[in-house]
Structures are given as structure tokens and as C-alpha cells.
């Protein structure tokens, strides 16, 4: 027995890693630093064909230099890589598949490369593992998709190799923890190497190599919505949401999507929201990137807490100056963390509200189109009812109480339900109908050989639909027939909407399942831009007392 156990090796992973690092050691100097010109050679030393590799890149922080270098490795040696990463937003991420270096992809969000992902799948260049949510993929990093090598990104390193990820910490701690503690290899690119970091976000002994990239990593202001582009129709929808949902349920813990509807809601909090007496009763705790359109509500004292997935360009000083609201480090700058924000988003939110491209007649919704494998990032985790939730809040309980058929599933046991709200104009981008017989996701599933049509929010999780016609309170519907009728009633002049039966709609209104703006007492004529607390980016700068520094593309003064 004892001889058997001594023969069996239990440290093959760490031995393998040690062997690879030994091969790379000639490039790595003090403080784990290596030179940009040695990067390709270093990657060739630490990566082997068939490895699972993570390139950090999500919304606001991209290991773009390391991704470019990975494209330059000798593909006769390094090929068939299995990429496991949150997002593939950069062309270089897909070039890996075109160049024959990578073969398989497990991810959560496609972004601008979504079209190429679909094309590569159908051409056989890319083998798709699955489209995940962020939390789901993070979970698999610690189970069956642990990366062997991770190429990560930070703002700064010090001379010992400690990293500062700062404002845009995002996915870094999750990736590093999964990789390093399973004896993997972590390589970091940084914008600069300094003597002293503002704070240490990743300790040096979790890192194997650090390079100062020739230019700072690519970053885009993805979450900034210019109030000047908010339409009166969006303002009407926002008024309906505030009166018919925020006030009705007094929802305190919220995630806002990144569309113009939710930015309209944010800009109406200090005006219409205050008029409805909602301050202190709704929107007190939020899971959000630092949206600039939240500034007026924060300044007006609406918000107790905001935890962020990532950062947003231009909001650095403002956030640092509001530490009572945001999570900041001992150095005073924001600490974001996608894994924790998504955990809060999945378990602790009372409401998720956002938009979508399509809703089918049953209430399933998706932003996928026939030729784009987009993925949904974190929306499905927040846009669903977390079945593992055990703590109660008033709004969560109220939605549960309103469900007429809960007893058919769990008898007389009380239970709550998260509000999952989709706010859409019945005709969306390019005048395309939002309400459709069948989602384009079905066609995508066929085109890209997916096992499932990619659905962002399933109909049974959806509790409310808000359109310019009014609100459908789907949680109050007894069965799928009633849900479909309620959806038809608010679907306007789309083909789905034209099938609504006026008698049926009247009954739904009498039952409080459908409410028009008039039923809710929302005056349509007040839906104009003068109701916005800020009407342009300049106003947001003024609200912030000059702390918000908008990126150049948003400046019109």
C-alpha cells in the first residue's frame, strides 16, 4: 500500500508549471519583469498546444498587447488552444481562431465580434463550448474550465510585481485566483511600472511575469449615455416605470441596464421621482457601473450604496469624492469587482430593469440576431428569479403574493419573486417590431449549430413589460394564455399587438393586469425633456461640481 502511494505522482500540474517557467526564466528579470520585445518568446515558453488559456478582457480593461503577441507565436508549436474568457470584444481575440492558434471558445459576451463568432462557427474555424453568463463561467473556472495560463491586465505594477487594477478591477481577482491556485501561470501587462502602488490589488506572488505594454490598454466609455439623446418617448416609459413599478413596489435594490430608458429613469429620479415621494423609498441600493446619468440622483441624496462591476471613463474623480456611496480602497479610488457585483446582482437585487431587441409572444426575450453570437454577459443572472434566495424584502414578497398560481407549485408556502422588467418601445431600432412571433435566436441556433436558442430572459422570469401603451403585470397572470393576452395588450401596432382583443384587454385592465398611462395617472403631455434633471453632458458636469470629466467624444462645449 505504502509503496503504491509513493509511486503515484500528485504534483504533475505544479511540476509542469515549474518546467515551463524554467524555460521562460531567461526572459524574466527582477520584479518578474520582462521586456515587451521578449513577449512572444515568453508566451511560446509558457503555453503548450491544447492549453486552456484566458485573455482578460471585458468591458473596460483589455489585455490587448498580450492578445496581439499570442497571435504571433509559432503555430506549428502552439495550436488548438481552448480559450476560456469573459468576452471577445477585440478583433485579435478572433484572429487567434483565424490564425489556427486557438480552436475552442467558452465565453459570456461577444460584443463587436459577435458576427465573426457566428461566421467562424459555421466555417468550422471555431468550436463553441457554450455561451455562459459571467457568474456561470466564473464558476466553471473553479470546476471544469480552469485556465492553465491567464494573460491579465492591470494599470500599474511595482518593482516587486504587485499589481494595481484600481478603478477597473473587474474580472482580474477571479481569473488570477482560479489560475494561480490550480498551479497555473499568470502573465500581466501593465500601463506603467512604478516604485509605489496606490494599493495592492493582486499580490506579486500570484503573478509569474509582468510587462509594461508599449501603449496603455484600450478603453472605451461604454456606459455613458448622453442625456441630450433621451427622447420624449423614453421619458414617457420612464414615468410609467417610476409610477407603475418603482412606486407600486417601492423597490430599493436595483440594477439598471445600460440603455437610454434606464438613463431616462436615472435622470427623472430627482424630478418626477421626488414628486412621487419616492426618495428614500426606492433606488437606495444599486449594482451598477458608475453611470454618469446617476450623478443628479446621487447628488440629490437618493442613493445609499453603489457597487460596481467595473469603472467608467471620466468618473474616476467623482467616485473617489463620494466614498459614502461607492466602494473604494484605502487609497481612495474605486474598487470594482465583477464577480461580487454579479453575486449581489443574482441574489440580493429586488429588481432588474433593462431593454431588449425582441420579445416573443410568450414573453421570452433576446438581443441575439440571426447572424451574431452575442451572449448576454451578466443580464441573465440579474434578469431571473434566484431560486436560492432565502432573505425577504417587501418588494420581493409583494411580487410573490401577487402570483396567483404559486400554490400549484409549493402549496401554501409563501415565497417572493424578483421583479424582472423589460422596458421597450413597441418598435425599436430601425423601426423593427420588438414584439415578434418567434425570436431571431431560433434562426441563430440553426445557423451556428447551437444546442439552444440564446435567450436573455425566459418568459417565466419576466414579471413586467413596459411599453408606450402601458404596463403588463405578468406576475399577476394565472397561466401562459393570460400572459400572452397581457403581452398582446401592450404590444401596440406590431403584428402581435394587432391580435389583441379589445374586450380581453378591457378585462385585463379591470383586473389590474394591464395598466395604460391613463390608468396609472401618468400625464403623457408632461413627458418632455424639461423633466430631465440633466439635459446634456454639460449639466452632468455641473451637477458633479466639476468632478466628472467626460471623454472627448461627449463634449459639446
Alpha-carbon gap, residue 108 to 252, rounded angstroms: 28
* Smaller CB separation from another protein, 401 or 529: 529
Q: Note whether 316 and 336 are within 8 A (CB).
A: no
Smallest gap from Cβ 216 to another protein, in A, equals 17
Tell me the HSE value of 495 on the side-chain side, using a 13 A CA sphere.
9
Query: Closest CB to another protein among 301 and 545?
Result: 545
Report in angstroms how near the CB of residue 552 gets to another protein at its nearest: 4
449 vs 556, which CB is nearer to another protein?
A: 556
Closest approach of another protein to the CB of residue 546, in Å = 6
- Residues 431, 425: Cα–Cα separation, whole Å: 10
8 A C-beta contact, residue 89 and residue 111:
yes
Min. distance of Cβ 555 from another protein in angstroms?
A: 4
DSSP string, 390-444: ----HHHHHHHHH-TTTHHHHTT------EEEEE--SB-GGG-BSEESS-THHHH
For another protein, the closer of residues 35 and 553 by Cβ is: 553
Among the listed residues 122, 438, 501, 556, the single contact to another protein using CB under 8 A:
556
Q: For helices 91-98 and 114-123, give the axis angle rounded to 10 degrees.
A: 10
> CB-wise, 77 or 553, nearer to another protein?
553
In terms of CB distance, is 125 or 529 closer to another protein?
Answer: 529
Comparison of 438 and 556: residue with beta carbon closer to another protein = 556
Site for another protein in 211-250 (CB under 8 A): 228
* 305 φ, ψ (degrees, to nearest 5): -140, 140
Comparison of 150 and 536: residue with beta carbon closer to another protein? 536
The dihedrals phi and psi of 150, each to the nearest 5 degrees, come to -120, 135
Binding residues for another protein restricted to 257-296, rule: CB under 8 A = none
Which pairs with CB-CB distance under 8 Å and at least 24 residues apart come from 485-492? 486/513, 486/514, 487/359, 487/361, 487/362, 487/363, 487/435, 488/361, 489/514, 490/426, 490/465, 490/466, 490/514, 491/426, 491/435, 491/467, 492/426, 492/427, 492/435, 492/467, 492/468
Nearest to another protein of 77, 555 (CB atom):
555
Instruction: In angstroms, give the least distance from the CB of 556 to another protein.
Output: 6
Total residues contacting another protein (rule CB under 8 A)?
16
The 3-state DSSP composition of the chain as helix, strand, coil percent (nearest 5) reads 40, 20, 40
CB of 292 to another protein, least distance (A): 14
Q: In the bound complex, what is the minimum distance in angstroms from residue 554's beta carbon to another protein?
A: 7
- Taking the C-alpha atoms of residue 443 and residue 386, their distance in angstroms, rounded to an integer, is 29
User: Angle formed by the axes of helices 232-241 and 260-268, to 10°?
Assistant: 70
Least distance between another protein and beta carbon 553 (Å): 5
Distance CA 464, CA 18 (A): 54
Helices H, strands E: what count in the chain?
Answer: 24, 19
Choosing from 29, 203, 277, 546, the residue that interacts with another protein (CB under 8 A) is 546
Grid cell in block for residue 129? 463550448
Measured from the CB of residue 539, what is the shortest distance to another protein in angstroms?
Answer: 9
Nearer to another protein, 365 or 536 (CB): 536
Q: Work out whether 112 is an interface residue with another protein (CB under 8 A).
A: no
Nearest distance from residue 372's CB to another protein, in Å? 25
The window from 174-182, 237-245, 509-517, 546-554 that contacts another protein (CB under 8 A) reads: 546-554
Indicate the residue among 149 and 238 with the shorter CB distance to another protein.
238
Q: In the complex, what is the shortest distance from the CB of residue 548 to another protein, in angstroms, rounded to a whole number?
A: 9
- Is 160 or 542 the residue whose CB approaches another protein more closely? 542
Cβ proximity to another protein: between 234 and 337 the closer is: 234
For 505-529, give one letter per residue: b (16+ CB within 10 A) or e. beebbeeebbbbbeebebeeeebeb
String of contacts with another protein for each residue 471-510, x by CB under 8 A:
----------------------------------------
Q: Nearest approach, Cβ of 263 to another protein (angstroms)? A: 17
Contact mark string toward another protein, 505..544, x via CB under 8 A: ------------------------xx----xx-x--xx--
**Contacts for 140-146: CB closer than 8 Å, 24+ residues apart:** 140/84, 140/106, 141/54, 141/84, 141/174, 141/175, 141/178, 141/179, 142/178, 145/52, 145/84, 145/106, 146/52, 146/178, 146/179, 146/182, 146/184
Map the footprint of another protein across residues 304-343, applying CB under 8 A: none
Contact string 10-49 vs another protein (x = CB under 8 A) = ----------------------------------------
Q: How far is the CB of 429 from another protein (least distance, A)?
A: 20
**Can you point out the beta strands (E) in 240-289?**
253-256, 285-287
Residue ranges binding another protein (CB under 8 A): 228, 529-530, 535-536, 538, 541-542, 546, 549, 552-557
Amino acid at each position: 500500500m505504502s509503496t503504491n502511494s509513493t509511486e503515484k505522482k500528485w504534483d504533475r500540474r505544479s511540476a509542469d508549471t515549474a518546467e515551463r517557467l524554467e524555460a521562460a526564466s531567461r526572459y524574466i528579470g527582477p520584479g518578474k519583469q520582462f521586456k515587451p520585445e521578449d513577449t512572444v518568446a515568453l508566451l511560446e515558453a509558457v503555453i503548450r498546444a491544447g492549453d486552456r488559456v484566458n485573455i482578460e478582457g471585458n468591458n473596460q480593461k483589455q489585455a490587448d498587447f498580450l492578445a496581439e503577441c499570442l497571435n504571433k507565436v509559432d503555430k506549428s508549436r502552439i495550436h488548438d488552444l481552448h480559450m476560456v474568457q469573459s468576452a471577445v470584444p477585440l478583433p485579435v481575440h478572433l484572429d487567434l481562431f483565424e490564425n489556427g492558434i486557438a480552436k475552442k471558445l467558452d465565453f459570456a459576451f461577444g460584443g463587436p465580434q459577435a458576427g465573426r463568432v457566428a461566421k467562424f462557427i459555421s466555417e468550422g474555424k471555431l468550436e463553441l463550448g457554450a455561451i455562459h453568463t459571467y457568474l456561470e463561467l466564473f464558476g466553471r473556472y473553479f470546476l471544469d474550465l480552469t485556465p492553465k495560463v491567464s494573460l491579465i491586465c492591470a494599470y500599474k505594477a511595482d518593482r516587486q510585481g504587485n499589481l494595481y487594477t484600481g478603478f477597473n478591477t473587474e474580472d482580474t481577482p477571479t481569473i488570477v485566483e482560479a489560475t494561480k491556485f490550480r498551479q497555473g501561470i499568470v502573465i500581466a501587462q501593465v500601463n506603467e511600472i512604478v516604485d509605489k502602488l496606490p494599493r495592492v490589488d493582486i499580490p506579486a506572488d500570484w503573478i509569474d511575469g509582468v510587462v509594461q505594454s508599449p501603449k496603455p490598454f484600450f478603453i472605451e466609455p461604454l456606459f455613458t449615455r448622453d442625456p441630450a439623446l433621451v427622447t420624449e418617448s423614453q421619458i414617457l416609459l420612464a414615468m410609467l416605470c417610476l409610477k407603475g413599478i418603482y412606486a407600486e413596489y417601492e423597490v430599493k435594490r436595483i440594477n439598471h441596464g445600460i440603455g437610454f430608458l434606464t438613463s431616462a429613469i436615472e435622470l427623472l429620479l430627482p424630478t418626477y421621482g421626488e414628486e412621487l415621494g419616492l426618495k428614500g423609498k426606492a433606488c437606495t441600493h444599486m449594482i451598477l457601473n458608475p453611470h454618469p446619468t446617476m450623478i443628479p440622483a446621487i447628488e440629490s441624496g437618493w442613493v445609499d450604496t453603489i457597487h460596481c462591476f467595473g469603472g467608467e471613463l471620466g468618473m474616476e474623480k467623482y467616485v473617489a469624492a463620494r466614498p459614502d456611496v461607492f466602494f473604494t480602497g484605502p487609497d481612495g479610488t474605486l474598487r470594482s469587482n465583477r464577480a461580487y457585483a454579479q453575486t449581489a446582482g443574482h441574489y440580493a437585487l429586488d429588481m432588474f430593469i433593462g431593454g431588449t431587441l425582441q420579445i416573443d409572444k410568450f414573453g421570452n426575450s433576446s438581443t441575439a440576431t440571426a447572424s451574431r453570437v452575442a451572449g448576454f454577459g451578466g443580464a441573465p443572472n440579474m434578469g431571473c428569479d434566484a431560486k436560492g434566495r432565502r432573505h425577504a424584502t417587501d418588494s420581493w414578497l409583494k411580487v410573490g403574493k401577487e402570483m396567483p398560481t404559486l400554490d400549484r407549485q409549493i402549496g401554501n408556502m409563501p415565497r417572493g419573486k424578483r421583479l424582472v422588467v423589460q422596458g421597450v418601445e413597441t418598435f425599436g431600432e430601425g423601426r423593427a417590431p420588438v414584439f415578434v412571433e418567434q425570436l431571431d435566436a431560433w434562426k441563430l441556433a440553426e445557423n451556428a449549430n447551437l444546442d439552444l436558442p440564446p435567450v436573455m430572459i425566459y418568459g417565466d422570469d419576466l414579471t413586467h413589460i413596459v411599453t408606450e401603451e402601458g404596463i403588463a403585470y405578468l406576475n399577476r397572470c394565472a397561466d401562459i394564455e393570460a400572459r400572452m393576452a397581457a403581452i398582446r395588450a401592450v404590444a401596440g401596432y406590431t403584428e402581435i399587438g394587432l391580435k389583441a382583443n379589445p374586450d380581453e384587454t378591457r378585462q385585463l385592465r379591470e383586473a389590474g393586469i394591464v395598466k395604460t398611462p391613463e390608468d396609472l395617472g401618468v400625464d403623457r403631455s408632461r413627458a418632455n425633456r424639461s423633466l430631465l434633471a440633466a439635459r446634456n453632458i454639460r449639466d452632468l458636469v455641473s451637477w458633479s461640481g466639476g468632478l466628472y470629466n467626460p471623454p472627448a467624444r461627449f463634449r459639446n462645449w
